[in-house]
Chain A
Amino acid sequence: MILSPIRNPIQNPIPTEGGAVATYAEVLRDTYGASALYNLVDITSGTVIHAFINSARDGALVGWDLQNTAGPVTGTLAPYSDGVIDRGNIYTSNGSTGLADIFNGTTGSVFQFLKVKDAPIWENGVIGYSLYIRVNSGTFIFLQKDDTNNQFIAIYRAAGNNKEMQISMSDTGWFSIGLSWDKTAAGGSGELKVFKNGIQSGSTVGALGVWSGSPTRAGLLGRGDVASFPWNGYGAYSAFKFGSVWSPADFLAMHNAAATAGPD
């Protein structure tokens, strides 16, 4: 098994060859080996969600209020999604292939930096997707503010086998959510882990279903293809790793690196 390099957070900021401080997006790509990365703080105008690693995976946004609030990395500004209409589509939009061609539902990880509009959002009784990846009604991964008060949930469903992991939430500042899934782990039973701010939340879940198929929808801060349960708040980075998973140490280091990386 090949492990990703683990950086001690105090080693950041990470200098590049030229001596400049690496941006956070560069850290996620170069140090942690992100397979795909949507860097929302670099969108200053227009409706394209720039895929940082491969522009063939660009997405399209609707209505986000760009550069709205200070991001988790000093010097960055993140967009606001209004919870009414706004959404981001990272599936076959703008003529791109989105995530569909590289997504791996058997083994992979996602890492997002998120923020809600204000504290009452956690108790408004309405779901808000931060990530929506769906093959069909029996196979999907959702990260969402739940309709249960003060709860964020991660859902991994494969072949109809549903696994949900709850995280208690009342945060009004930036927080990170990590999710790793690996059906090949634990002798094939699989392992599902969720992380808040780099710390694993709850126990590892096993007995995962067998993932089959490519995504037919993929959304950031909402369902993506239509305005359904949109996120009411802010989003900064969504990074994916496919074919292997980020370790607990990786999630913690990625979370901490935001405090010292250079602005994008």
Chain B
Amino acid sequence: MIRQYHAAINVSMTSEQWDEFVGRLEAIGSDDYPEPEEVNAAWLNHWRHSLDDQVVIFEGRFNENAWAAGRIAAMLFRIIDVRLQDIEIEEGETEYGSVITYSAFGVDYLNMLSYGGDDPTYEESHAAALQYLFDNLGDWEEELFL
């Protein structure tokens, strides 16, 4: 099990596709903790949506393969109505961690960001997620006093 922050970033999914996909991501880990009232709340998958709802940050204590590219592609292909083998995966790096872009037929649909890189400690992943948030506050925080 690994405790880490991840982000899903919508590139070109429709709102219906995105909502369905995010719902699948929000279900990650639910089988690992069938009695959530008996575990540390920090272990449970929890999330935060950006103000425009195009980015969602997730945190929890997950199975090592829970966020593997193959699993994400398997969630994605039916939603965007392509075959699994049509999904292309391209890995990259950002200052916050590694990113994987999922595309099909030359169209980028999704970026998945793993904060802190491939095998970070919780502290490394947390620091990267916090920095991402600070660097993009306008995308995440409502105007005060609203």
Residues of A within 8 A of B (CB): 45-48, 61-67, 80, 82-86, 124-127, 137, 140, 157, 226-229, 232
Contacts and interface: CB of A to CB of B under 8 A. Distances in A.
B134 A85 contact: no
A124 B40 CA distance: 28
A228 B126 CA distance: 17
A82 B39 CA distance: 17
Interface residues of B, number: 25
B46 A63 contact: yes
Given A82-B126, A84-B57, A126-B134, A46 B37 contact: yes
Main secondary structure of the interface of A (DSSP, over half): loop
A232 B134 CA distance: 12
Interface string B37-50: 11111101011100
Contact of A229 (B36, B42, B47, B141): B141
B74 interface: no
Contacts of B5: 84
B1 to A, nearest CB: 14
A68 B44 CA distance: 15
Nearest to B45: A63
Given A124-B134, A127-B144, A84 B48 contact: yes
A134 to B, nearest CB: 8
B84 interface: no
Contacts of B46: 62-63, 85-86
Contacts, number: 69
Contacts of B48: 84-85, 226-227
Contact of A140 (B36, B38, B57, B145): B145
A84 B144 contact: no
A66 B36 contact: no
Interface of B: 5, 36-42, 44, 46-48, 57, 59, 126, 129-130, 133-134, 137, 141-142, 144-146
A38 to B, nearest CB: 15
A237 B22 CA distance: 35
A164 to B, nearest CB: 12
A140 B41 CA distance: 29
Given A64-B42, A84-B133, A86-B42, 4 more contacts: A62-B41, A84-B48, A140-B145, A226-B48
A63 B42 contact: yes
B130 A83 contact: yes
Contact of B39 (A45, A226, A227): A45
Name the 9 nearest CB pairs between A and B, nearest first. A65-B42, A46-B37, A227-B48, A63-B46, A85-B48, A66-B40, A137-B145, A84-B129, A47-B41
A45 B37 contact: yes
A203 B145 CA distance: 25
